[in-house]
Each structure stands twice: as C-alpha cells, then as structure tokens.
Amino acid sequence: MQITIYATIISFVIVLLIGPIIIPALKRFKFGQNIRDDGPKSHLKKAGTPTMGGIIFILSIIITTFIVQRKMSGPLYVALITTVGYGFIGFLDDSLKIIKKRSLGLRAYQKLIGQITFAFILSYYAYINKDIGSVIHIPFTNSMVDFGIFYIPFMMFVIVGVTNSVNLTDGLDGLASGVTLIVSIFFAIVTYGLGDKDLSLFCGALSGSLLGFLKYNSYPAQVFMGDTGSLALGGAISALAVLLRMPFILVIVGGIYVVETLSDIIQIISFKTTGKRVFKMAPLHHHFEQEGWHETKIVAWFCIFTAILCLIGFLAISF
C-alpha cells in the first residue's frame, strides 16, 4: 500500500508544480479551445481557454512511475504505452483543431486507425501473457469465461469503446477528470487487494495526477484536458480493465461513460429515423444543462453516481 500512497502524493505534487508552467505556455502559444457552434450557448464564453492540459497529468504519471519504480514490469510498461499512445492521438487531434481554428481535428477514420493500433497492442499483450490470457471475470460470480480466439477482437472493441466514451464525457469543467478519479481509486483498491504492486502504483499515479489536475480543471476551468487528456484517460482505464481481466466490471464502475455514450447513440438514431430528439441535447450532461442545471451540479451528481457504482463494483468482485 505504501508504494501506491507514495505514487499518489508524488504525482499530485508534480501536477501542482508543473501546472503553473504549462498552462501559461499554452496561453502564450495560443492553444485555446474552439467551441462547437451546435453546443450549449453558455459554453461560448469558454472559447480561448487553454486546451491540451492533459499533457500535465500525462507527464506526471510518467515521471512518477519512473521515480517510484525504475524497473517496470510488462503490465506496467504496457499500461504506460497505452496511456501515452492514446494521449498522442489526442495531441494530434487537438493540434489540428488549433492550427485549422475549428472544432474538428483528425478525421474519424484517422482517429480510428490510431485507436485500433494501440487497442491491438494491448489486447495481444494480454492474450499472450500467461498471467492474463483470454479469460475474463464475470461480475457477481467466481467464474472466468475463456473467449479463446475471439478475445483479441472483443477486447479491441472494448478498448476503443471505452476511450471514445471517456472522450464524450469530457464536456463540462471537471467532469471527465472527477469521474475518472473515482474510477482510478476503485482500481487502486482492487490492485492492492490483488497484490499487484505495479498496477497499484500506476493507479496511484493516475489518481494523484487527476486530483491535482482538478485544481486547474474544476469550474471555472483554467485549462481543458482536450482530446490529449480524455483519450489518455480512456487508454489508462481500459488498460487497467484488460490487464486485470475486468472489462465487465468497468461497465459497472464506468456507468457514466456508458450512459453518456448511449445517450449520444439514442439521440442520433432517433433523429435520423423519426426526426425527433429524445434529449434536448446529447451527450446526457448537455441535456441536464438545457434543463437548467448548473454544470457544477451536474458534475457533482455524476461523481456521486460513480462513487455508488464503484461500491457496487466491489460487491461484483467480492464473490
């Protein structure tokens, strides 16, 4: 447990130290957020707020990992590669948005190619690792199901889905970072219980960096994480779920990610088939904004809901 606590404290302090350096640099280079024209009108005032802030906690995770554990195991190394890899895809996306001064960066197929590549690396590593293999834990049971040759494509689907779900959740100040902080704490407790020191260290570094990042990202945000941060967080969380053989558990504890994605899918299908919208705006957090909720209230309730789901998650693996 000590190594996890050390990692949490160190990563937290690193974010507090480098935040005041990186945020002014982002402002100086005019790395400001472009706001979607079809988004909530209340968000227009956020235009120009520095984005790509995910660089802050990505650097913190990397530095902390090397400080606390210089000799990395395979799973820890792969978790870092997945996090940084997805963060790099987001970095390219954010860079194009800034250069072209629009709310769209990489084309969908370009993003997908990058996401599939890193999803394959993670899935293949887990598949050939004798300590992980092709088995997956079934929630609320002691059972493990062997997916056999279908394991790699299934896990790739899960990984790409998770990263894009976290990306969709990043729509309000502190929402993605707050929700993911709670999920990372859940996995920190799980890894400690399993005696996995390396992944527990990774969870501690992730949790501490997000806790520090909330100082700058909570309402009113001084910096946005951008796709650089949201895709990196998706990569980190999906890596933990895969390496711990708990993708179905992630569906529970990451319920907010699931609901946000489903609301977007339902909205698109409904509008294209009937011409009517189910929600006032999608994803779901924007619907509540249109209902008159302040974004701090939405973030608070989504975090509370995630905390409850994590408690259910503990029940799901305690059989």
- Can you state the percent helix, strand and coil of the chain, rounding each to 5? 75, 5, 25
When comparing pLDDT for 117 and 36, which is higher?
117
- What tokens were used for 83? 């996090």
Residue 36 — very low, low, confident or very high, per pLDDT cuts 50/70/90?
Answer: low
- What tokens were used for 276? 């009517």
- List beta partners, residue 32: 50
DSSP-assigned letter for residue 281: S
Which of 66-70, 97-101, 289-293 has the lowest average pLDDT?
A: 97-101
What is the spatial distance between Cα 316 and Cα 141, in angstroms, rounded to a whole number? 7
167 is annotated as contributing to ligand binding = yes
What is the spatial distance between Cα 314 and Cα 319, in angstroms, rounded to a whole number? 9
Peptide bond connecting 220 to the previous residue in cis, omega within 30 degrees of 0: yes
142 is annotated as contributing to ligand binding = no
Q: Is the pLDDT of residue 162 over 60?
A: yes
pLDDT of res. 102: 65
pLDDT of res. 34: 62
Q: Is the pLDDT of residue 220 over 90?
A: yes
Task: Spell out the alpha helix ranges (H) of 71-174.
Answer: 74-100, 108-128, 151-169
pTM, entire model: 0.93
Q: Which of 61, 69, 54 is nearest to 14 (CA)?
A: 61
Q: Which of 121, 116, 149, 122 is nearest to 134 (CA)?
A: 149
What is the spatial distance between Cα 306 and Cα 304, in angstroms, rounded to a whole number? 5
Q: Is the pLDDT of residue 138 over 60?
A: yes
- What tokens were used for 306? 């995630």
Q: Is the pLDDT of residue 4 over 70?
A: yes
Q: Is the pLDDT of residue 33 over 70?
A: no
Q: Is 67 exposed, middle or buried (0-12, 13-18, 19+ CB in 10 A)?
A: middle
Q: Is the pLDDT of residue 163 over 80?
A: yes
- What tokens were used for 246? 């708990």
